[in-house]
Structure formats: structure tokens, C-alpha cells
Amino acid sequence: MKLYFVLLMKSHFQSYPCPLQINSFWNLGFLLGITIILQIITGIFLGLHYTSDLNSAYSSLFFFIREIYYGWCLRL
């Protein structure tokens, strides 16, 4: 049973024809594209909620970190 499963998975992953031009650099480019899109979206979100007043700018950053779920992750 175990050998059948291994052979099935091996034939499933190796049977698809793929051009030689598609390599790991295509995957890296895709990951970089997803990263820049994520940074743009979080930057817009943080930019919309940031206050530029001297008295409340520091408190708005702490609002991101403490009050918004996973706000610390957005600020990274």
C-alpha cells in the first residue's frame, strides 16, 4: 500500500510537461510580486489610519500595535 501511494504521487508530480524556461527564478519572481503587493496594501492601510499631528502621531502607532488584531504584524 505504501509503495502504491509513493508511485502514485511520483507519477502525478512528474507526469506534467513543463517548458524548460520555467525554473526557480519564475517562482522567486512570483513571491517577490506577492510581497510587493502585500507591502502596498498594508502601506495604504497604515497611511489611511496614521495621524500626522505631533501630539497624536505616537499614540496612533500604539493604536496599530495594541488595538488592531495583528497590528504589530502590519507595522513590521
Mind listing the pLDDT tens digit for each residue in 5-27?
A: 888 877 777 666 666 677 777 77
- Give this prediction's pTM: 0.53
Residue 1, CA distances (Å) to 13, 34, 49 in order: 19, 39, 57
Model confidence at 53, in pLDDT bands (50, 70, 90)? confident
> How far apart are alpha carbons 53 and 49 in whole angstroms?
12
> How far apart are alpha carbons 6 and 26 in whole angstroms?
28
